[in-house]
Structure 1
């Protein structure tokens, strides 16, 4: 009797455990996203309408996902408490994981591709990235439709009897998303290095953006690879549900983190002390973006017959920053 109980209990834990962790992580990441949205709202009221539309659209999708996840969690652990069959039936699992994940990933990757276009000036690579993002988005949505129709929300059977269409769309979406993320991180790093002017503040900012691009791109790529490995490597288990359910919110958080990286904390760890002084200059000397950097340096002029005299020399340099830095 003990062996039977332990056997059935272990099967239940293999399904309920990953679901509980997945629901908790989804709520936690959505809370982080909400804080990031508040910071963005406070710090960047003058951003372009296009950027604001992307930000609020992604947040609305994440909000709907949080609502659907809450409904599923209450049905499984509330109404279905004590009923093992309730663990294998989820109303919105097909929507929150593959569909919302594909849509948010497409939006975020297209946003990165647009930033890459503004940084490099080339349309070839960004266009390829956008079309690839649209392709994997279609694959993810199609996979969600197949999951809803063929498996009928039976989460326990996913990974044991995987339909051919679902397997193909899952591989296309996850592998494609990983390749796109790595490509974006590599291209952003390359073009950011090319735009480095050598000034201390600019160099510190470029270094920060390079590190952020690599971290966000590699993290989302590793997450998609982990989902793929758990989905096909451990069939019959629900372990893939943990990273699979949060992929949408992770993509949203990476996008918000990149946008919020533009504000600066005075005297923080990333603060770079400098003697440069920023002053206003006439509008006709400003660049098309409307931003300028004016550095004041001191030079010492010496005369052999007189003691050294320190004079101030003002050097005005107009630096055109990439769009993603100033907007």
Structure 2
């Protein structure tokens, strides 16, 4: 193999990976700015977002130093291409930190959506911890023992393959479980089902890209072990985790608004007849004396009791908006509504907060 071909497959691949990772880092910063400007999550979630963006920044600095070391500082020195610079080994650890934070957050979501199911959450947590442990072991061993790329291929090839295999398996499993939990939560009520379908798309996207890059990195290691093609994919994996997390967090308001625009309920229309009205100040205020549509937010709680079972389950309190058409200006009283209907109950709020 000529020197030019060797550089194309090694430093050329590393340069492409660094450039793509830099572009994805810019997207991460943009999404992080949108998140901190518009979202008002708990301190834990906001701290998580700050951590993963910080890890991405440090990781970008390390891989930029790697490429600068080989292509600028040691330009024209072929002997330097056989040595492993420290930043190329340290970046693995920060990539692992980002993946661990995002996967831990998704594992927590699975815990909530599965009603604290120990078995489902335990399997996912085991894969997440196994991947993180392998990444930390890889980074520490490499920094202590590895000096040349020959050492890297001899001592850590097996561990590198293991990291990518576990990462791909973990991402696929997380996306699959989130999809299953969201789809099995459907009630047949169009508004909630629309929101669940959109959340499912984000859940699949969260694991699809990272799994694809992990598999591509794994195939590259096995098919071309003497090149840096796998590094092209590995450099970008942390950015994909961060962008997937931020995209799902920033899309929650849009998903809720999309669900609010759906006003039909499984093909049935509910009508309310009104007589005289007494206006409770906590619900409605009128700015004019003309007829208008009134949206009332109703808290509903439905308790299902079955005689053949020894326990009862109470479904969660949810909010749903229903429009009352043709109301005259005046005061509204619940006692003046003639019709009584059964109002479907939405699934637990945890389903709509899943990402």
After TM superposition, the score normalised by the length of structure 1 is: 0.80
Query: Residue by residue, what CA displacement relative to the aligned partner does 1:200-238 show, whole Å, maximum 9, x if unpaired?
Result: 332221111112212221322221111111112212111
- Taking the aligned partners of 2:318 and 2:36, their CA distance within structure 1 comes to 21
Equivalent residues of 1:68, 1:92 under 8 A apart? yes
SS at match of 2:157: helix
1:274 aligns with one of 247, 262, 267: 262
Task: Name the SS of the counterpart of 2:2 in structure 1.
Answer: helix
* Equivalent residue, structure 2, for 1:102: 96
Instruction: Give the one of 224, 234, 240 matched to 2:224.
Output: 234
- Whichever structure has more helix as a proportion of its residues is 1
The answer as to whether partners of 2:18 and 2:63 remain within 8 angstroms in 1 is: yes
Aligned partners of 1:296 and 1:68: how far apart in 2? 57
Matched, 1:34 2:29: yes
Give the corresponding residue for 1:185.
175
- Kindly tell me the number of residue pairs found equivalent between the two proteins: 301
Residue 198 of structure 1: how far off its partner (Å)? 2.4
Structure 1 segment 29-68 matched on structure 2, within 5 A = 29-45=24-40, 47-68=41-62
Task: Check whether the contact 2:99–2:238 (CA below 8 A) recurs between aligned residues.
Answer: yes
Aligned to 2:323: 296
- Residue 145 of structure 1 corresponds to which residue in structure 2? 140
Residue 47 of structure 2 is aligned to residue 20 of structure 1: no
CA distance in 2, matches of 1:68, 1:295: 55
Q: Output one character per residue of 1:256-312: Cα deviation in whole Å (capped at 9) or x when no partner.
A: 222122121899xx7884347753457999x9998622223679xxxxxxxxxxx99
TM-score (norm. length: structure 2): 0.74
Q: d(CA) in 2 for partners of 1:326 and 1:291? A: 13
Question: Could you list the per-position Cα deviations for residues 75-100 of structure 1 after superposition, in whole angstroms to 9, with x for gaps in the alignment?
Answer: 3333233333444443311121x212
Aligned match of 2:162: 172
Deviation, structure 1 residue 144? 1.7
Q: In structure 1, what is the equivalent of residue 245 of structure 2? A: 255
Supply the distance in 2 between the matched residues of 1:282 and 1:193 (Cα, whole angstroms).
24
Structure 2 portions without partners, runs of 5+: 265-293, 303-313, 327-337
Q: 8 Å contact 1:216–1:254 — kept in the other structure?
A: yes
- 2: CA distance between counterparts of 1:278 and 1:80? 70
* 1:73 maps to which of 67, 86, 92: 67
Distance 1:259 1:144 in 2: 30
The alignment yields a C-alpha RMSD, in angstroms, of 3.3
Aligned to 2:235: 245
What residue is the counterpart of 1:218 in the other structure? Answer: 208
Distance 2:8 2:176 in 1: 40
Q: Is the 8 A contact 2:300 2:318 kept in 1?
A: no
Secondary structure of the structure 1 residue equivalent to 2:322: strand
Q: What secondary structure sits across from 1:294 in the alignment? A: strand
In structure 1, list runs of 5 or more residues that go unmatched.
1-5, 300-310
**Pairing of 1:82-97 with structure 2 (within 5 A):** 82-88=76-82, 89-96=84-91
